[in-house]
Amino acid sequence: MQQPPGFSTDSTLVCRLNNAKYGLKQAPHAWFQKLSTTLLHLGFVAAKSDTSLFTRFTQSHTIFILIYVDDILVTGSSLVLVQDFSKQLGLYFALKNLGPLHYFLGIEVSWLKNDSIHLSQAKYIKDLLGCTNMVNSRPQPSPMLSSLRLTTDESVSVDDPTLYQSIVSTLQYATITRLEISFSINRVCQYMHKPQIHHWKIVKRILRYLADTPTHGLLLTPSPAYSITGFSDSD
C-alpha cells in the first residue's frame, strides 16, 4: 500500500487504518472481533471448545450460532426465535438471509420428510476424485483390508511425496461425515514423512471406496428425549 498524494513519505512512519480493508491479513480478525463483541453484548457466550461457536441459554429458549468468517449459521429451539434474532442482528450488520441450510464448508445438508437431516460431502469427494483422475476407477467394497499390516520400508518411495501428502490431508476433511474411513486415514497419515508405493496403493483404495459411495454420510434423526451417552477410556 502507498500513501495518498500530499502525505508524508517518511519511511520511518506507518499509517494506522481506522477501518479494516478487505483483503488484508488483519481483516478477518478485525471482523470477527467486531462480530463477537456484538454477540457478547446481546447475551451470548463463546464456547471454550470452539471459539467460532456462541450460545445463549435461558429458561425458555436456546440459540446456537456458528461463524466462519462472514458465513453464519443460526439455529435454536424455535423458528420464531431464530427469525427475531436475525432481525436483531440486522440492526448492527447488513445481512442476507439465505434460508434453510443446504451447503456449508463442503458439507451438504439434505432435509428429509421425517425432519431428519442427512450430512454428506458428495461434491467434495467428487472434486477430489476429479483431481486424482479416479472418477471412473474400479470400486472397492471397503477402504482397507482388515488383515493389512503397513510397514515403513517395503517398497520404493513415491515419485511425488507432495502429492501423497496433499491427497491424504484432503481426505482428512472427508472424515467429518465419513467416520468409517477414519482408521484408514489415520494409518496412511503415519507415513507422510516418507510415503512409498505400497502406501500410495492404500490411498488409491480409499479413493476407490469413496468413488463407489460418494453420497454416504451422517443421518441425524429427531428424538423426543434428548440424551447423550459418553464413554471414557474405552478401547
The average pLDDT across 2-21 equals 72
Cβ atoms of 129 and 207 closer than 8 Å: yes
Alpha-carbon distances, residue 217 vs 54, 120, 214, 220, 229 (angstroms) = 26, 4, 8, 10, 21
| CA 171/CA 178 separation, integer angstroms | 10
165-220 residue pLDDT tens? 999 999 999 999 999 999 999 999 988 888 888 889 999 999 999 998 989 999 98
Lowest mean pLDDT among 1-10, 83-92, 159-168: 1-10
What pLDDT score does 22 carry?
A: 67
| CA 83/CA 73 separation, integer angstroms | 12
| Mean pLDDT, rounded, of the chain | 86
Q: Which residue has the higher pLDDT, 146 or 103?
A: 103
The average pLDDT across 64-87 equals 87
The average pLDDT across 9-26 equals 72
Task: Specify the pTM.
Answer: 0.72
The average pLDDT across 90-107 equals 87
Report CA 12 to chain centroid distance, whole Å. Answer: 42
**Domains in the chain and their CATH numbers?**
27-99 (3.30.310), 120-218 (no CATH)
Phi and psi at 104, nearest 5°, equal: -155, 115
Q: Indicate if the pLDDT at residue 79 is higher than 80.
A: yes
Look up residue 122 and give its three cell numbers.
458428495
| CA 64/CA 48 separation, integer angstroms | 14
Look up residue 153 and give its three cell numbers.
520400508
Cβ atoms of 152 and 193 closer than 8 Å: no
Burial of 195 (0-12, 13-18, 19+ CB in 10 A): buried
123-172 residue pLDDT tens? 999 999 998 888 888 888 888 887 878 777 778 888 888 999 999 999 99
Confidence of residue 64 (pLDDT cuts 50, 70, 90): very high
| CA 110/CA 221 separation, integer angstroms | 12
pLDDT > 90 fraction of the chain, expressed in percent and rounded: 27
